[in-house]
Amino acid sequence: MTERALRLGTRRSKLAMAQSGQVAEAVRRLSGRAVELVEITTYGDVSREHLAQIGGTGVFVAALREALARGEVDFAVHSLKDLPTTQPDELALAAVPKREDPRDVLIARDGLSFERLPNGARIGTGSPRRMAQLNAYARTHGLTIETVPIRGNVDTRIGFVRNGELDAVVLAAAGLNRIGRTDEVTDFLSVDFVLPAPGQGALAIECSASDADLVATLAGLDDPHTRVAVTAERSLLAALEAGCSAPVGALADLLGDGQEFTEMRLRGVVGTTDGSSLVQLSTTGPVPTSHDDAAALGRELADEMLAKGAAGLMGERAL
């Protein structure tokens, strides 16, 4: 008898459908089973408030997890940066596939790069993290910019530039890659300039922890290098007790000699959204061989950042 199709829970946005479709195809190849997409609307999709106002953490995730708990879907695909740092016992983070480009990118009028934007340029972003770093960079380089909070899907955001309302918007490279729109990018922002959100560019595949067969199948999509990197980044975020809408950036790089990775460098940043104050530090250690080792690196850097005053810059809650 033919096994029933696996049901993959996904948000309805064009980006979510694209990345879930890519995962569905990989699961079909891996398992030999059909996979059908089940579209689910999350609170983050219907709210028009800015993420910082609605709490950010989990607003794109909760409805998918509820569908998993009710047995309406067998597994779900999330953008890892949207995932709360605390993992529910009943759900398994079965796979973190190989990460896409973690950088942020600029889409500006007239093909402009960030450095060529005119003084007073209006730059749209829904991310306090991006605002903090863009404004800090502008301050140190004698530029005058205005960061404008925006919401909406990729088309809506790019539309603000096309209709002249904004000079530029900042988006994630990974999302544009996944929907085939990288050709619209006018500048790739170096991670030395803007650190991405913890887990940016990576996907998270969740299923019920009690479904051992499915956990084992999905584990075939896991990339161990991406897993340890994002574990360190998310551990830093958790140790700062900051939500995914807080102005926190983090990136773990695996460093080596071209043959093998020997070290992991973790960088973190916290700042006020006006860019007037930033705490930016890094630490390097051996490549973690376990979840606990990766998490320890994140906690270590978070402790150093807190000692430098990071808690007072996040605008969330006092630590």
Mean pLDDT for the stretch of residues 96-118? 96
Q: Smallest Cα–Cα separation from 271: which of 282, 279, 259?
A: 279
At 319 the pLDDT is 31
pLDDT of 243 reads 60
Predicted pLDDT of residue 3:
80
State the pLDDT confidence band at 32, using cuts at 50, 70 and 90: very high
Largest Cα separation within the chain, whole Å, is: 69
What pLDDT shows up at residue 44?
52
Q: Could you give the residue numbers annotated as active site?
A: 82
Would you say residue 50 has pLDDT above 90? no
Residue 271 pLDDT more than 50?
A: yes
Q: Which residue has the higher pLDDT, 59 or 55?
A: 59
List domains and CATH numbers for the chain. Answer: 6-98+202-222 (3.40.190.10), 104-189 (3.40.190.10), 229-310 (3.30.160.40)
Given a cut of 50, whether residue 306 has pLDDT beyond it is: yes
Residue 315 is predicted with a pLDDT of 57
Cα 138-165-128 angle, rounded to 5 deg: 45
pLDDT band at 95 (very low <50, low <70, confident <90, very high): very high
Rounded CA gap, 200 and 181, in Å? 17
> In Å, how far from its chain's centre is CA 22?
18
pLDDT surpassing 90 at residue 45: no
If you search the block for the tokens 């460093």, which residue do you land on?
255
The residue with tokens 């879907």 is 73
* Mean pLDDT, the chain, whole residue set: 90
- For residue 257, name the pLDDT band (cuts at 50, 70, 90): confident
pLDDT at position 76 over 70: yes
Q: Please count the other Cβ atoms lying within 10 Å of the Cβ belonging to residue 187.
A: 19
| pLDDT score, position 308 | 92
**pLDDT confidence of 52, banded at 50, 70, 90?**
very low
Q: What is the rounded average pLDDT of the residues 76-88?
A: 92
Mean pLDDT value of segment 152-169: 95
Which stretch of 3-17, 20-34, 136-150, 231-245 has the lowest confidence by average pLDDT?
Answer: 231-245
Q: How far apart are CA 225 and CA 253, in angstroms?
A: 9
Instruction: Judge residue 45's burial from the number of C-beta atoms within 10 Å of its C-beta, 0-12 exposed, 13-18 middle, 19 or more buried.
Output: middle
Its pTM stands at 0.89
pLDDT in tens, 124-153: 998 999 999 999 999 888 889 999 999 888
The residue assigned the tokens 């998993």 is 68
Is residue 98 over pLDDT 70?
Answer: yes
